[in-house]
Amino acid sequence: MSLDALKSAVPDYAKDLKLNLGSVIGNSELPAQQLWGTVLATAIASRSPIVLRELEPEAKANLSPEAYTAAKAAAAVMAMNNVFYRTRHLLSDPEYGTLRAGLRMNVIGNPGVEKVDFELWSLAVSAVNGCGQCLDSHEHVLRKAGVDRETIQEAFKIAAVIQAVGVTLDSEAALAQ
C-alpha cells in the first residue's frame, strides 16, 4: 500500500492526523533523502507494524540502498542510545554521567550517508523516543553544520505525526479484536 492507504486508514476522529500526514510528507521542503530517511527511521521508531508496512515501500523507492540502510541503522542505534542516555539523565545520581558508556555505536561515525542526514534521522528518532539529552546532542551537531531550525523542526514534525498515526491505528486495531 502507500501513504494514501495509510491516510485512508486514519479514523474520522483523527482527521487532523490524516491532514498532517499528507502535509508533513507530501508538502515537505526537505530533500528526498532527508525526507524519506526521516519517514523510515521514525516509522521504525513508532513500533507500529501498520505504519511501517505502509511507509517502508515508498521510503525504499525514494532512497538509495545506502540511505535506506543508514535510516534503519539510525533507528536501531538510537533505540539503544535513547534508553541509555535518557535513563542516565533521569537518574538523580550525577555519577552515572561520569561513567564510560561502553556501548558500540560505530555507525554514528560512519553511517554510509552524509553526516547531516544521519544526524537529522537520529534527532527524529530521539523525538519519538523522548530522549532530551540525545535531542540536544543531535540538534547541536546539526546547527553547528549549518542546518537551520526550520529543517530540524520539519524532522520532528514528521516524527510527531508518524508516532501519532501509529498510536491511533494500533489502538484501533487492538479495539477491533
Q: What is the DSSP string of 58-95?
A: HHHHHS-HHHHHHHHHHHHHHHHHHHHHHHHHHSS-GG
Among residues 75, 124, 127, 131, the one annotated as catalytic is 131
Count Cβ atoms below 10 Å from residue 5 Cβ, excluding itself: 12
The tens digit of pLDDT for each residue in 18-29 reads 999 999 999 999
Helix 65-90, helix 32-45: angle, nearest 10: 50
H or E element, residue 120: helix 115-129
List C-alpha distances in Å: 124 to 1, 46, 144, 172. 24, 11, 17, 25
pLDDT at residue 1, rounded to an integer: 52
Cα 110 from Cα 92, distance rounded (Å)? 33
CB contact set of 89 (below 8 Å; sequence gap of 6+): 97, 131, 132, 133
Query: pTM for this one?
Result: 0.95
Q: Any idea how long the chain is?
A: 177
Question: Can 131 be counted among the known catalytic residues?
Answer: yes
The tens digit of pLDDT for each residue in 48-107 reads 999 999 999 999 999 999 999 999 999 999 999 999 999 999 999 999 999 999 999 999
Which residue is listed with cell 532530551?
Answer: 132
Question: Can 177 be counted among the known catalytic residues?
Answer: no
Among residues 39, 63, 71, 134, the one annotated as catalytic is 134
Q: Among residues of the chain, what percentage have pLDDT more than 70?
A: 99
